[in-house]
Amino acid sequence: MFSAAPWLTAIDLIGTFVFAVSGATLGVRRQLDLFGVLVLSVAAATAGGIIRDVMIGAVPPASLVNWEYLAVATLAGVVTFAFAEIVERVEHPVRLFDAAGLGLFAVAGTAKALDFGLAAPSAVLLGTLSGIGGGIVRDIMVAQVPTVLRSELYASAAIVGGICVTVAVWLQLPRGPAMVVGAVLCFVLRFMAIRYRWGLPVARARADGSDD
Amino acid sequence: MFSAAPWLTAIDLIGTFVFAVSGATLGVRRQLDLFGVLVLSVAAATAGGIIRDVMIGAVPPASLVNWEYLAVATLAGVVTFAFAEIVERVEHPVRLFDAAGLGLFAVAGTAKALDFGLAAPSAVLLGTLSGIGGGIVRDIMVAQVPTVLRSELYASAAIVGGICVTVAVWLQLPRGPAMVVGAVLCFVLRFMAIRYRWGLPVARARADGSDD
Amino acid sequence: MFSAAPWLTAIDLIGTFVFAVSGATLGVRRQLDLFGVLVLSVAAATAGGIIRDVMIGAVPPASLVNWEYLAVATLAGVVTFAFAEIVERVEHPVRLFDAAGLGLFAVAGTAKALDFGLAAPSAVLLGTLSGIGGGIVRDIMVAQVPTVLRSELYASAAIVGGICVTVAVWLQLPRGPAMVVGAVLCFVLRFMAIRYRWGLPVARARADGSDD
């Protein structure tokens, strides 16, 4: 059914699920109805993979051709909608599921780009882009500044995950475990940044609200 | 001039026109000047088709290669700008023209995807995406939450239109009338949802304005 | 290293630099930290070229495959962040660097599209789209209405730059100087529009804040 390696597909589907939960949770918070919540789940879950596939010329994108992606995203949306009160009890649920999706898509994107013959740095970049793409589309759709701009160690954590996969492939280590390690590393970095509010300095400039 | 079937082209150009009117009307409401109104017309009118064409690998997209699309979108923008006061008298003009564009692009996108050999479910999905794409880009460009998230029966209406075309092709019925029926069905569903405020329940959750 | 003509590459990299500065400056104004500023630099600098490359089927996009683009964008972001107080003294810094990037990407996009065999009007359109793409993505990411909608002579200035290149190629004049002239012409038009607040009339309509 899938041409890609089973590890890649498994990680891709888990990433789809957690990003869909992040989208659905944001939709519930914004008081969208069930339809809106499902659209936001699907958008958050598929945007990263679609961006990746369009960029490497793997069209039509996997999430349009294989029904599994859409089914998983819809299921995640419905479950989140039904159990919204429980999901809410998790602290920072949007950010947590987003961090998991970030790691999973970053390693899956990097691996797929390597499969398509891209050089190591380009593969890491593409992995990063497919990791951050879902969250960007999700946040822009509810008219808020994307997490990738507001948060420390976001794109950077994705880069670390992608490098992990690239190095493993270069050392001819087994790819599956390397993808799991890379995704976990990225997630832990993001989680620590959220938990301990790791931050960087902000440049001094007129903050008068005008942009020109 | 066009490689696609004449029905497809006709429906595509009418969809371009009505989406352009929806973009121009929104631009006039937001007090943009003529340039801004035209940019918003063209964006609303071409985004859905561009997304569809990029996803099925039909690059460069039809709306860049054939001047008709741009001409129709620009014309619609200029006419809407000139007769803004009349268009305003129509109730809910943005939503009405948006609903017409949604139906037309959903069936045109589904038909083109079937032409490119996609399986039925993928074709319906791609049709839906090309139907909702123009409205999403239009709304995001004026920094408002897209209609597809705020409204009941939006993506669902597009799915119904796409299924209509897919079933007709499967039953080997003539495609042209099936596209018209699908587009009308989608429009009527959306119109009824707007008219009677059909809505779905909203999940119970803390609505404290924070997203994390 | 690059398959494209050296002039095209040079103009592309300078455009990347100035658009990155426009993104970084906006990031500093919005009080983003260093990571956020860099993401906004890279987004503003690469989005136009990525849109262009995806549309003509030149995937993976040049800015993912060649490390120079990312290096230039990152460098521009770091420099802008470090010298934010100096950049601030320039009047209208975001708009000025944005105008330079607009002209450079409009001519580079048009030239690359001609190289890929597109007809003259399509090439100008694609050039315009790759010129305005970076600014649109940059502005949408900080949830503000893109400059292309708020400003006079924005898309129009890009069109003029693109026409300049197309005419030169048609007359078989040397392409390099034509690209410089086109980029300068576009920049000057935009600069004059900013400087003298050239504007167009706004349509009369209910401005009651509702969009439907």
Question: Which segments in chain B show pLDDT lower than 70?
Answer: 1-4, 91, 199-212
Report d(CA B208, CA A88) in Å as an integer: 12
Show the tokens assigned to B52.
């569809």
* A86 to chain C, closest Cα gap in Å: 30
C81-97 pLDDT, tens digit per residue, is 999 888 777 767 778 88
Show the tokens assigned to C33.
């930290």
* C65 to chain B, closest Cα gap in Å: 19
- Decide if B48 contacts B131 (C-beta within 8 A): yes
Closest chain A CA to residue C54: A55
Show the tokens assigned to B121.
């479910």
* C160 to chain B, closest Cα gap in Å: 14
**Interface contacts (A, B; CB < 8 Å):** 97
Determine the pLDDT at residue A86: 82
B201: which chain A residues are within 8 Å (Cβ-Cβ)? 33-34
CB contact under 8 A, B205 and A88: yes
Report d(CA C94, CA C103) in Å as an integer: 14
- Decide if B109 contacts B164 (C-beta within 8 A): no
CB contact under 8 A, A201 and C34: yes
CB contact under 8 A, C50 and A54: no
Of C26, C33, C50, the CB nearest to A201: C33
Which is nearest to C7 in space by CA: C181, C180, C187, C188? C180
Report d(CA B148, CA B128) in Å as an integer: 11
Question: Which segments in chain A show pLDDT lower than 50?
Answer: 1-3, 206-212
The reply to whether B1 touches chain A by the CB within 8 Å rule is no
A67: which chain B residues are within 8 Å (Cβ-Cβ)? 121
Determine the pLDDT at residue B204: 58
Report d(CA A113, CA C115) in Å as an integer: 26
The reply to whether C35 touches chain A by the CB within 8 Å rule is yes
The model's confidence at residue C159, banded by pLDDT at 50, 70 and 90, is very high
Q: Tell me which amino acid residue C114 is.
A: L
CB contact under 8 A, C67 and A121: yes
Task: Classify residue A181 as exposed, middle or buried by CB count within 10 Å of its CB (0-12, 13-18, 19+).
Answer: middle
The reply to whether A135 touches chain B by the CB within 8 Å rule is no
The reply to whether B120 touches chain C by the CB within 8 Å rule is no
The reply to whether B155 touches chain A by the CB within 8 Å rule is yes
* B38 to chain C, closest Cα gap in Å: 9
Closest chain C CA to residue A126: C64
The reply to whether A146 touches chain C by the CB within 8 Å rule is yes
| 3-state secondary structure (DSSP) of residue C199 | coil
Read off the pTM: 0.88
Of A57, A70, A93, the CB nearest to B125: A70
Determine the pLDDT at residue C21: 93
The reply to whether B62 touches chain C by the CB within 8 Å rule is no
Q: Please determine, for residue C74, whether its predicted confidence score (pLDDT) is greater than 90.
A: yes
User: Chains that contact A by 3+ CB pairs under 8 Å?
Assistant: B, C
Torsion angle (degrees, nearest 10) of CA A91, A94, A99, A101? 130
Chain C interface disruption, residue of B38, B64, B86, most C CBs within 10 A: B64
CB contact under 8 A, A65 and B122: yes
DSSP string, A65-89: H-HHHHHHHHHHHHHHHHTHHHHHH
Show the tokens assigned to B114.
């079937």
CA distances in angstroms from B206 to A41, A86, B202, B212, listed in the order given: 19, 11, 12, 11
Of A155, A199, A204, the CB nearest to C84: A204
- Decide if C20 contacts C94 (C-beta within 8 A): no
B/e letters for C35-69, b = 16+ CB within 10 Å, e = fewer, are bbbbbbbbbbbbbbbbbbbbbbebbbbbbbbbebb
CA distances in angstroms from A105 to A127, A205, B187, B197, C26, listed in the order given: 7, 35, 36, 38, 28
The reply to whether B177 touches chain A by the CB within 8 Å rule is no
- Decide if B126 contacts B118 (C-beta within 8 A): yes
Determine the pLDDT at residue C206: 47
CB contact under 8 A, A57 and C61: no
